[in-house]
Amino acid sequence: MTRLITELLNIAIPLFAASSMAAVGFRYRFRQITAPFRNLQGMVLVLLANFVLLPLLAVLIVQLFSLHQPLAIGLILVASAAGAPFAIKLTQICGGDPAFSAGILVMLLIVTIAYLPFVLPLLEPGISINAHAVARPLVLTMLLPLGIALLLENQWPGLGERIEASLINLTNISLITIIALTFASKLYALLSFGIGAVLAAVLLLVSAFGIGYALGIFGTDTRKAVGFTTAQRNYAAAMIVATEAFADPDVLVMVVVTSVVSTALLFPGAWLMKRYSPHPALQSISK
């Protein structure tokens, strides 16, 4: 049963990543997706939040909870990996702009590919990582579908409208499958290391949202998108690195623990934020 769940996850995760990125590429123009890049100060702050402040915060958290080394490495690894397709869905749920989120995601993904091989020796001296092994699945499941969709929509305008419903259904089905299978197969990880590991993951993710929200200065309507894009870490990249670079399986288990906590925390949080956010008309009146 465990093997079957693993095989299904190996299908569902790339399918979700590819379909969500393709849907963004078909729905939005290249200029919309690259809009965040035109705000240099905003992009610098996003990079600061994801690749400086969050890893440093993770170091403080592992000391606060006295996590032993493999768990500490796993948490810092998660904090160092950014650019996950779930961020687009979270942005949609909370009522943000998916195109803006996709632009931030693309930048974070590219930096993560270059950043992880650099930061790993700091976690454990003497360790090495194959950068190609990290980059290949991320490029194939995220950057490539986005680029192909943008090119097809530019070549045949209106194509996205005809297949959008199918892409959305595929994205939603794969997302539900991932959430269900993750809880079914990895719930033991939440219980095996006690409350300390879980609380460390909760503190990291809540703080990540707060950091992203505070530094998301692109505009008043973008702070939520930056917050969730910062809080949703790139667990695919972290799992690849944990499996390839570290012999201790507890490193991978801590990544899994944080991913389960993320699923349980961020999706309901995005829904609640949407539900209890002031109506746009009321916001405009209050300004």
Which distant-in-sequence residues (6+ apart) come within 8 Å of 231 by Cβ? Answer: 90, 205, 206, 208, 209, 212, 262, 266
Contacts of 90 by beta carbon, 8 Å cutoff, 6+ apart? 101, 228, 229, 231, 232, 266, 267, 270
Stated pTM of the model: 0.79
CA-nearest of 266, 33, 267, 264 to 142 is 33
Supply the pLDDT for residue 133: 72
- Spatial distance between the Cα atoms of 279 and 81, rounded to a whole number of angstroms: 34
On whether the CB atoms of residues 126 and 237 are closer than 8 A, the answer is no
**pLDDT more than 90, % of the chain:** 22
The string of pLDDT tens digits covering residues 233-266 is 988 788 878 877 787 878 888 888 888 889 889 9
Domains of the chain: 2-286 (1.20.1530.20)
Task: Give the model confidence (pLDDT) of 44-94 as tens digits.
Answer: 999 999 999 999 999 999 999 999 888 999 999 999 999 887 888 888 888
pLDDT at position 221, please? 67
Q: Share the mean pLDDT of the chain.
A: 83
